[in-house]
Structure 1
Amino acid sequence: FLHGGGFEFGSVRSDGELAARLGRASGMRVLFPEYRLAPEHPFPAAIDDVLAVWRWLRTAQALDARSIAVAGDSAGGGLAVALLVATRDGGEPMPAAAVLMSPTVDLTSSGASMTERADQDPISTPAMLRQFASDYLAGADPKTPLASPLFAQLAGLPPLLVQVGTADLLLSDSERLAAAAAEAGVDVTLEIGEGLPHVYQLMLGTPEAAEATGRIGKFLRARLR
């Protein structure tokens, strides 16, 4: 499980409950790495750490890639897609499936929802998201595929479940990622929650979060050995 927080914040304290809930729903153990954060550790530190954890699971723990899934919210969702792209490009076995909750996959901030949903998102502002992106990139090209995996080639990726709400500045990230993945032949499911905010799955005790967790568990149980 890869936590969100704009590549600058987040830890097991902010996202641990959600990660544990997904583990219970799917009947799986959960590993929660705390990757290095910007601005002290800009791109590619986070994805380097994620790849190191993946390779440790595969080698030191001798786990079959087909028995492992990756899930992430917001920035962690973007890192999850970057992990898939990097392992595919490196000729390594990929996770069996991925769950992406309001993923950040376009650091150019070019999605239509960045302006169209600005008055609906109760959490983020366009300026805040652009600042997070700038701090993380530290001068790197925002279209670099491992930073903004929307611009990566997506063919050959494992099944994806993407969940996002309509009251989210990053709605367009999910919509465009799902469309591009489907066009590339990836098995992708996009679930859009009407009126729901960024990473609504974090809202413990709400029926919307419980239903989303249940669907994630069903998705993972159906696709992992």
Structure 2
Amino acid sequence: MKRTLSDVDLAERHRQRARAKGPAAPPRSVRASCHVTWTTIAGLPVATVSPKTTKTATAPFIYLHGGGYTSPIIAHHWRLIAALANENSWTVIVPLYGLAPDSDVTDALTRLTALHQTVVQDAQGAPALGGDSAGGGLALALALSLRDRGLTGPRHLVLFAPWLDITLDNPAIPAIERFDPTLSRPGLRHGGLLWANGRDPKDPAVSPLYADPANLCPTTMVVGTHDILLPDCRAFATKARAKGVDVELYEFPQAFHVFIAGTVLPESRVARRLVTRRIPGRG
């Protein structure tokens, strides 16, 4: 993947192949442990994933998958979602938001706002909200947009290696890029600009690192130190803490991008336990 992302043309070909293949269905292992049902909300296909072993689930958790804003959900996302559901007795709501270049951040925030408010109404309370990589960046952008509009926001944000600045201009990134086995800046920037669709790349909607984080809900972040997104995660945590936000940033030495999706890895299990401890009312 790193070689693909190191070249814009290769990244574009990968995007086209991934889109032609389409979103992965929940694997058999996920369907063995969880109920998976589908509906449509705000024009988006939405999966609801809940553990089979628990009759009473806690307040829902909305999960936005990664993929650089250009690639659909994959099997590893579903396995992580199932692990979070089973370990916390969560009902996880998984919208398959539109991808660039056919969709963009404006469309996504409009539809996800409607979905979030539907979940709030149905659950009679605020859900947790999270995601990985691009999905983590989008989750943060959504939370900030809900705050700015005076709407009910999430009760907690869970961000796994979130992509917080599509420019990837942080001067600390090049030193980490040598060790990152997965990510490279050229291909990521290409996807980010497609997602922005003409917006300033530093618009908080596409790069929430540049937003004012004041009055944001409690936030938990998990990232590896061999991940080029680490410097911006650190920058956001520092900025948010300065505004009084309850932020916990867990860094895992030498871990790769979204390592937590490797659900059988010891460090993934540790990270998930840390997330569980941070979120109240988990069941």
**TM-score of Structure 1 vs Structure 2, range by shorter chain:** over 0.9
1:210-221 to 2 correspondence within 5 Å? 210-220=269-279
Question: Secondary structure of the residue that 2:130 maps to in structure 1?
Answer: strand
Find runs of 4+ consecutive structure 1 residues off by over 3 angstroms: none
Contact 2:90/2:282 (8 A) holds in 1: no
Matches within 5 A, 1:183-202: 183-202=242-261
Q: How many residues align?
A: 221
Q: Unmatched 5+ residue regions in structure 1?
A: none
Q: Which residue of 2 aligns with 1:41?
A: 103
Higher Cα radius of gyration: 2
Aligned to 2:84, which of 12, 19, 22? Answer: 22
Q: Which moved more, 1:113-122 or 1:171-180?
A: 113-122
Q: Given the alignment, which residue of 51, 64, 68 partners 2:125? A: 64
For the aligned residue pairs, the C-alpha RMSD in angstroms reads 1.6
1:207 is aligned to 2:269: no
Aligned counterparts of 2:130 and 2:217: Cα–Cα separation in 1: 12
* C-alpha spacing 1:224/1:187, structure 2 compared with 1 (3 Å): farther
**Alignment deviations for residues 123-154 of structure 1 (CA, whole Å, 9 cap, x no partner):** 11111111111221122101111111111111
- Structure 1 letter corresponding to 2:95: P
Name the CA shift for 1:14/1:206 in 2 (closer, same or farther; >3 Å). Answer: closer
Structure 1 distance, partners of 2:95, 2:76, is 13
Note the alpha carbon deviations across 1:15-37, whole angstroms, 9 max, x for none: 11111211222221110110000
Matched residue type, 1:5: G
- 3-state DSSP of counterpart to 1:167: coil
Change (3 A) 1:174 1:126: same
Following TM superposition, by how much is the alpha carbon of 1:219 offset from its aligned partner in structure 2, in angstroms? 1.3
Contact 1:87 1:94 in 2 (8 A): yes
d(CA) in 1 for partners of 2:65 and 2:81? 9
| Aligned residue number for residue 237 of structure 2 | 178
User: What pairs up with 1:97-116 in 2 under 5 angstroms?
Assistant: 97-116=156-175
Q: What do the CA deviations read for 1:65-121 (whole angstroms, capped 9, x no partner)? A: 1xx100110011111111211111111121111111100111121123431111111
Q: Is the 8 A contact 2:262 2:268 kept in 1?
A: yes
1:88 to 130, 133, 147: 147
- The CA distance in 2 between the partners of 1:210 and 1:10, in whole Å, is 25
Hey, what's the Cα distance between the residues in 2 that align with 1:205 and 1:113?
30
Q: How far did residue 14 of structure 1 move?
A: 4.2
Scaled by the length of structure 1, the TM-score of the pair is: 0.93
SS at match of 2:224: strand
Shift of residue 218, structure 1, vs aligned partner: 1.7
Q: Distance in 2 between matches of 1:185 and 1:117?
A: 29
Q: What's 2:185 paired with?
A: 126
Letter in 1 for 2:124: L
Q: Which amino acid aligns with 2:85?
A: G
Question: How far apart, in 2, do the equivalents of 1:128 and 1:114 lie?
Answer: 15
Paired residues for 1:71-82 under 5 Å: 71-82=130-141
Unaligned runs of 5+ in 2: 1-62
Q: Is the 8 A contact 1:111 1:173 kept in 2?
A: yes
Letter matched to residue 21 of structure 1:
A
